[in-house]
Structure 1
Amino acid sequence: MGRRPRTVVATWLALVAAFFALALGGVTGSGLFDQLSSGDMTTPGEAQDARQLLVDAGGGDLDSDTLMVSGSPATDPFVRQGVATAIKRIHDLPAVESVANPLVLEDGVKDPKGAPLVLEQGTDRYGFLTVVEFKHGLSDGELEDARRDVGIQFDQIVTASRATDSQRGSLKMLVDEVVGQVASDMKVGEGLALPVSFIVMVVVFGGFLAAGIPIVGAIAAIGGALASLWGFSHVIDLDATVVNIVSVLGLGLCIDYGLLVVSRFREEMRELLDGAPLGEDSRALVIEATGRTVDRAGRTVVFSAVTVAIALSGLLFFPSVFMQAAGAAGVSVVVLCLVVATTLIPALCALSARRLLRGRTERTPDTGVFAALAKAVQRAPWAVMALVLTALVVMALPATRMEVTSSGVELLPTDSVQRQFFEDLAQDYPLLSSPDVRVVTSADPSEVRDWAKGAARLPGVESAEVTTVGSLDGETVRSVDLRTSDGPLGPQTKDVVAQLRADRPPFDAKVGGQAADLADFTRSIADNAALAVGTVILATFVLLFLMTGSVIVPIKALLMNVVSLGASLGVLVWVFQDGHLQGLLGYSSVGAVEVSIPVLVLAFGFGLSMDYEVFLLSRIVELHERGYSTNDAVRLGLQRSGKIITSAALLMIIVFTGFVLAKVLAVKETGVALVLAIAIDATLVRMLLVPATMSVLGEWNWWAPRWMKRLHARFGITE
C-alpha cells in the first residue's frame, strides 16, 4: 500500500463506480430496491406451508386490489349505472379473474349478498368496496399493466359514485410503501451520518484531510455494501429492513476502522521521525510507517472484523430467510470494510503523509484524561465493579418480561396511507380483512364444514367461515377462516393457534395466520439458539485466546458483553413495550418488541461490543508483551486507545441515530437498541469495568493452562 498508493486508490475508484452502478440499476436496469421483499417474519414451518398452499391454489393475497369509497349516494340510479360501466370494463380485462362490487347486484347496496362490502353512513349515504382479483400466474409486467388499467377504472368509480372520500390498497401497495419508507429512512440516516461524522472527526483529528480519509473509505464501503446486497437479493429474499441495517453497519465500521488506521499511521510516523522534520526524501519512512500501520492497526482491524463476522454468522443457524439474509449480507459487508481499512485507507494515508502530520512530528505523551481515569479506577476497583454491575443489572431487569410480536401495517407510521387503509378496512369491513387464523385443507367439504362449526365455539373465536380457495392437483383447496375477538396477534388468537395445533382437526390441514407465523418464528429461534450462541461464543473465545494467550480475558470479555447487551434489551423493553418516550421518539407502541429485533441486536451488538474490546485489548496485550506490568499496560493502553474507542463509539452512535429517526418501527427499535448497546459498552464497560476487573485480577488476567500456553506459543497471533 505504501509503495503503490496511486494504483490502489485508482483501482478503488473504479470499483466504487462499478458498485454504485450495479446497486442503482445502471448496469442491469434493475436496482437493489427493485428486488426487496416486504418484511414478513416467516420461517419454514406449518404457517408457511399453509400460505404456500393458498398461493399454489390461486389464493395469493398479492394478486388483488381494493377500492374503498365513502359518502356515496349509492342508491341513486345514475350512480349505479356509472359504477356498473366501470365494473364491466374491469371484468373484461384479460388479466382479471373476478371483480366484486355491491352496486351491480339486483338490489344494490341493500342486497344481503353484498352486505360484507357495504357500510351504512347515514341517510342515503354509503361506503362500499370494489375488490378485484387478478389471475394466478401472471408475470410481473402483466400484473403491473393490469393494475394500471384497473386503477384507471377505479378513478371512474370514484367519479361516478360521487364519493366524498376514497382509499386504495393491496398487500402489493403495502410492500411498496414499506420498501419506499425504508429507502427514505436510509437516505435520511446516511444524509445525517456522513456530514455529522465528518464534523466530529475534524474535531477529533484537528484537520479536514485526516477526517476526510475515513469518510472516503466509508463511501467506498457504502457502495460495496449496496452492491453486495444487490447480489444477495438475486439469490435469497432480502428484506427491506436488512438493507438499512447492513448498509449502516458497513458505514459505521468503516469509519471506525478508518479512525483507527489514520491515528496509528500518524503515531508510527511520529515515532519514526522522533521530532525530526519530514524531509523531501521521506518516501522510505512513509513506506515503513504504512507497513507498521497495516501490521499493527491492521492486525486489530482483522481481529475486530473477524469477531464481528463471527457474531453475525450466528444468524446463519436460524432457518428464517430474514435472519440468514441479515447474517450472510452482514458478513460480506464486514469483509468489505476489512479490505477497505487495510488497502484503501493506508494508501490514502501514504499519499497524504505530509499534510496528515501538519509539521507536528513529536511523539504523543502517555499521560492524559484516560490514563487519569484508569488510575482513579485502579484506586478503588471493587467499588467501581459493584456500582457498574448494579447499574447494568437494574437496566437489564425489564428484559425478563419481554413480549414479542410480528407487526404488519403497524411497522409503518400512523399517518401512512396503506396503514390507514388496512386499519379502516379492518374496522369498517371486518369480513373483508384477512382472517386472524386460517386452517387450509383439501379434505371432504362436508367434513370441513362440520369441523368449522365446532371451531366457531372455541374460546375467543367469534366466527368460522369455510371458503373455497381454488384447485391444486385436481383437489379443491378450502380455508376455514377464523376471526377472533382480539385481532391477529392478540393473546386469545395465540391460544387458538396453540389449541388447534395441539388438538388437530380430524383431517390433514395446515394452521396459518400471523399468530401461527409468530409461533413458528419464535420456536425456530428457541430450537437453534443454543447451537448459534455456542458456536459464536466458542469461536470468539478461540480468537481472543489467540490474541491474548489468556483464558481469563476471553471469559471475562464474554461475561461483560452478556451483561451490557442485557441492559440494552432491558431499556428497549422499557421504551417500546411499555410505551415510554413515544412522543420524543415519534412512534406508537404495539405493547411488544418486534420478534426479530432481540436476535439482531444480540448479533450486531455482540459484534460491535467485541469490536471495542479488541481495540482496547490489542493495545494492552501489545504493551504487556513489551514488559509493562498489567496495571501499567491497562493505564497506557486505555490512554492510547481511549480516544479512539470513544470517538469510534460516538461516530457509530451518530450513524445509528439515523435508525432512531426512521419511521419504520422495526428499524427504529434496532437503532435505539444498538445506540444503547454501543453507549453502554464504550463508557461503563470499556472505560470503567474493564480497568477495574483487570486491576483486581492482576497477573491472573494472563493465566492459561500450560498446554494452552504451548498452543498459543505455536499458533498465537502476536507481533
Structure 2
Amino acid sequence: MRGWGSWVGRHARVVVGVWFVAVTLAFLAATGVVGEGLFPRLHASDIEAPGENLIGRDLLRGTTREQGLGGSYTLLVAGIDPAAPRVAAAARTAVTELLAIPGVERAANPYVVPSGLDSAGAQAMFADRSQYSGGFATIVLLKQGLSRSSEDETHDRIDAVFDELVRASGAHDSQRGSIRALVDRIVEQIKIDGQRGEGIALPLSFLVMIVVFGGFVAAGIPVVGAVASIAGALGCLLGFSHLLDLDATVVNVVTVLGLGLCIDYGLLLVSRFREEYAASRPPGIAPEVGPAREITREDAIRAIGLAVDRAGRTVLFSGLIVAISLSGLLVFDVPFVRALAAAGVSIVVVALLVALTLIPALCVLGARRILRARRTEVTGDSGVFAQLATRVHARPWVVIALLGAALVTMALPALDLRLTSSGAALLPTGTPERVFVERTQAHYPGIAGAELTLVTKAPVAQVRAWTAGRQIPGVTRIGSVVARPGGVVTVAIYTGDGGSGPASRAAAHSLRTDRAPFPNWITGQASGIADYQDAIRARAPAAIALVGLTTMALLFLMTGSIVIPIKALLMNLLSLGATVGVVVWVFQDGHLQGLLGFSSVGAVESTLPLLLAAFGFGLSMDYEVFLLARIVELHEQGLSTTEAVTLGLQRSGRIITSAALLMVIVFGGFASAQLLVMKQMGFGLALAIALDATIVRMLLVPATMYVLGQANWWAPAPMRRLHRRWGITG
C-alpha cells in the first residue's frame, strides 16, 4: 500500500478538493437545502419480523370497517361539566364542522353516538368510562391516500375546529395527538439527539487529540475526517432511503459509527505518519526543533507512504472486520436489521475511504505543522505500558482468573434479559406526545385499543365458547367476539400496560403456547416482539458462523496462527456478555436512573442486544487488530513472544487507549440523548469499548499470550504453507 499512500501524497490538493466538493454536496442534499432531504424520508415504527403477528394483521387488512381510512387525530378535553348543554352543543357543532373538511372520513364524540350517552360506544369516549368524570374525546379519522401537504392542510383545519370546541365547551385542559405526531416527534428527537451527540463528541475529541498530539493541526485532521465521514454517512443514508424503509434510529447509529471509526483511524495514521518521519530523518535532526532542517514535500510524501503501508494495512483489516460483523446482520429475516446492516457497511466503506485518502492528503498538506508540533507520544521501548506488561507477565494466571471472574459476574444479569419495542415510552417523561398516549391509555382504554388481538376464521360460536370465563395470565379484560367481512373473527384482549409491558408479554406467551382449539393468530406489539425473537434465534447460528469464521480467516491471514483468532473470538464474547449484562442491570432493572436521566420500562429495546453484538464485536476486533499488528510485526522481526508482546503493548498501548477514549467520548455523547433507545445504544457501546480497551486488550490479551508462549503462533502445517503464500502481513 506504500504506492497508494505516495500517490495520495503527491496529489494531496486534488484529493482534498474532491472531498470538499463531495462533503458540501452531501450536506446540502441530506439537510434538504437541495431536494427533499433525509429526515422527512425517515419513519419510526415497531421492529417487525415475519410471523403470526404480520399474518394476523394481513388478514385484518382490507376486512375491517376501517378499510380506506388513513390516520386518526384525537382531541381530549378535561375540566368540563359533561352534562352541561353548552358542552353538548359545542361537541355536536364540532363534529358537523369536522365532517365538512375534505380530508376527513369520519368524526365522533360521545354526544353524537346515535344510541345515546349511556351506550358502550359513548362511554368509551368519556374519561374513565363515565360522563361525570369531567372529560371526553373527539376522534377524527382521515381519508386514505392523502398527500403530505393535503394531510398538513387537513390537520390545520381540524386544529381550528378543535380550538373552537375547547373554547366553546369551557374546558380547562385539552390535549391532542396522533400516530403521525408521535412519529414526527420521535424523528425530530432523533435529529436533536444526533446533533447534541456530535456537538459533545467533536469538541471533546479535539481537546483529547490536542493533548495526544501536542498541536492543533495534527489534532484537527482526524476531526476533519470525522466531519467528512458524517457527510458521507448522511449522503449514503439519503440514497438508501430511496431503496429501503429506513427507521430514524438507523441514522444516529451508523453516523456515530462512522464518526468513531474516522477519529480512530485518523489518530492511528497521523501517529504513524509522525513515527515514520522520525524514523527516516537523518540522525541528530529532530522535527520539533524548527529550522535545523526544512521539512520538504518529499519528506512528507515518503513518510505518508510508509505510514499508509503499515498503519493503512491495519486500518484496512480493521474496516474489513467491522464490515464483516455488520454483514452478519444481513442473515436475519428482519427488514429493519437488514437495512441497518446495509447502511452500516456503507458507512464503514466511507470511513475507510476517508482514512486512506483524505487523512493522508491532509497529513502531507499540514506536514510542517504536524511534524514540528510538540511531541507527546511515546515512541521508546520503555514506558508505562511496558511496565504494565511486565507486571502482567509476573502473574498472568492471577490476571486471567480475577478479570475473567469479574467479566462473568458482570454478564450474569443478561440471563434475565427482557425485550420491548417502545413507542411513546422512547420519549422523555413529560413530552406532550408521550403524555397524550399515557393519558389515553389511562383514561380512555376503549379508544386506546386492545394490546393484543386474536384473529381467526373459526365459527363465531366456537370462539365465544372458548372466551367464556377464560382466564389468561396478564389479561384484565377479554372483549367481545366480533365477526368481520371475509369470515374473519377477532377478539380484543386488554392487559392495561400499553402493549409491551410484563402483562402483555405474559398474555402473548400464554396465547401463543396454550393455543385455542382452532387456528388463530395473535397480533399486537408483544406478539411482534416474540416473532422478532424467534427470527433472531432461527438465524443466529448462521450469523455467528459467518462472522466468526470470516473473522478468524482474516486474523489467520494476518497472524499465521489459528490459536490467536480463536482466543480473540472467545475474549470478544466474554466482553460482549459483560456489556449486555451491565446494560440489563442499568436499563432493565432501573439502576442509575437518576444519574443517567431516564425512566426504566422494565426491559431493553428489542434491537439493542443485536446492535451491541454486531457493532461491539466489530469495534472490539478493531483494537485487537491495532495490538496484534504491532505484536506480529515485532515477532516477525525475530523477537520472542514475551518480548514482542511487551514491546507491542508499549508501542500500541497509547494509541489503543487514546482511540478507545475518543470512541467512548463519541458514544458517551450519544448516551446523553433524550430518546431512550439512543441512550441505551450510546451507553452500551461506550461501555463495550471501555471494557475491551482496558480489561481485555491491556490485561487479558497480554496475560493469555504470556501463558501460551510460542503456542500462540501454532497452526497445522498445511495452513502454515497457506499463510506463507497468501498471508498479508509485513
TM-score, normalisation: structure 2: 0.93
Q: Which moves more between the two structures, 632-641 or 193-202?
A: 632-641
Tell me by how many angstroms 1:121 deviates. 11
| Structure 1 portions without partners, runs of 5+ | none
Contact 2:441 2:498 in 1 (8 A): no
Q: Does 1:401 pair with 2:416?
A: yes
Instruction: Specify the alignment match of 1:335 in structure 2.
Output: 349
Partner of 1:72, secondary structure, is coil
Instruction: Specify the alignment match of 1:23 in structure 2.
Output: 30
1:65-91 per-residue CA deviation (whole Å, 9 max, x = no partner) reads 111000113323233223322211111
Instruction: Specify the alignment match of 2:41 in structure 1.
Output: 35
Instruction: Specify the alignment match of 2:548 in structure 1.
Output: 537
Quick one: distance in 2 between partners of 1:108 and 1:206? 78
Partner of 2:429, secondary structure, is coil
1:123-165 per-residue CA deviation (whole Å, 9 max, x = no partner) reads 9762000011112233333323222221221111111111010
Contact 2:73 2:178 in 1 (8 A): yes
Distance 1:593 1:265, change over 3 A: same
What's the RMSD between the two structures over aligned residues?
2.4
Q: Which amino acid aligns with 1:424?
A: R
Q: 1:294 aligns with which of 308, 330, 333?
A: 308
Quick one: distance in 2 between partners of 1:143 and 1:507? 42
Instruction: Specify the alignment match of 1:307 in structure 2.
Output: 321
Distance 1:489 1:113, change over 3 A: closer
Q: Does 1:414 pair with 2:429?
A: yes
Q: Which amino acid aligns with 2:163?
A: D
Quick one: distance in 2 between partners of 1:680 and 1:509? 46
Aligned length: 713
Q: Which moves more between the two structures, 274-283 or 31-40?
A: 274-283
Contact 2:82 2:131 in 1 (8 A): no
Partner of 2:135, secondary structure, is strand
Quick one: distance in 2 between partners of 1:112 and 1:375? 78
Contact 1:452 1:466 in 2 (8 A): no
Instruction: Specify the alignment match of 1:689 in structure 2.
Output: 700
1:413-465 per-residue CA deviation (whole Å, 9 max, x = no partner) reads 11111111111111111111121111235666x45763574485545441223
Quick one: distance in 2 between partners of 1:112 and 1:635? 77
Q: Which moves more between the two structures, 210-219 or 656-665?
A: 656-665
Q: Which amino acid aligns with 2:285?
A: A
Contact 2:215 2:374 in 1 (8 A): no
Distance 1:200 1:455, change over 3 A: farther
Q: Which amino acid aligns with 1:605?
A: G
Q: 1:51 aligns with which of 57, 62, 76?
A: 57
Quick one: distance in 1 between partners of 2:176 and 2:554? 55
Q: Does 1:344 pair with 2:358?
A: yes
Quick one: distance in 1 between partners of 2:221 and 2:623? 21
Instruction: Specify the alignment match of 1:243 in structure 2.
Output: 251
Pairing 1:299-698 to 2, within 5 Å after superposition: 299-358=313-372, 364-441=379-456, 446-447=460-461, 450=464, 453-454=467-468, 457-461=471-475, 462-467=477-482, 475=486, 479-484=490-495, 488-502=499-513, 509-698=520-709
1:36-59 per-residue CA deviation (whole Å, 9 max, x = no partner) reads 111411112221233344444445
Q: Does 1:263 pair with 2:263?
A: no
1:204-229 per-residue CA deviation (whole Å, 9 max, x = no partner) reads 11010000000000000000011111
Q: 2:285 aligns with which of 276, 281, 292?
A: 276
Contact 2:123 2:129 in 1 (8 A): no
Q: 1:204 aligns with which of 198, 201, 212?
A: 212
1:93-124 per-residue CA deviation (whole Å, 9 max, x = no partner) reads 22222111112347975566411111279997
Q: Percent identity?
A: 53
Q: Which amino acid aligns with 1:685?
A: V
Contact 2:420 2:501 in 1 (8 A): no
Quick one: distance in 1 between partners of 2:175 and 2:567? 57
Tell me by how many angstroms 1:26 deviates. 2.4
Instruction: Specify the alignment match of 1:78 in structure 2.
Output: 86
Quick one: distance in 2 between partners of 1:363 and 1:597? 38
Q: Does 1:172 pair with 2:186?
A: no
Q: Which amino acid aligns with 2:622?
A: D
Q: Which moves more between the two structures, 552-561 or 233-242?
A: 233-242
1:510-554 per-residue CA deviation (whole Å, 9 max, x = no partner) reads 320011101100000110100001110000000000000001111
Instruction: Specify the alignment match of 1:194 in structure 2.
Output: 202
Quick one: distance in 2 between partners of 1:154 and 1:53? 35
Tell me by how many angstroms 1:405 deviates. 2.0
Quick one: distance in 2 between partners of 1:120 and 1:376? 68
| Structure 2 portions without partners, runs of 5+ | 1-7, 288-292
Distance 1:578 1:627, change over 3 A: same
Tell me by how many angstroms 1:477 deviates. 5.4
Q: Which moves more between the two structures, 280-289 or 569-578?
A: 280-289
Contact 2:325 2:618 in 1 (8 A): yes
Quick one: distance in 2 between partners of 1:647 and 1:298? 18
Quick one: distance in 2 between partners of 1:417 and 1:111? 30
Q: 1:98 aligns with which of 106, 109, 117?
A: 106
Instruction: Specify the alignment match of 1:151 in structure 2.
Output: 159
TM-score, normalisation: structure 1: 0.94
Contact 2:587 2:603 in 1 (8 A): yes
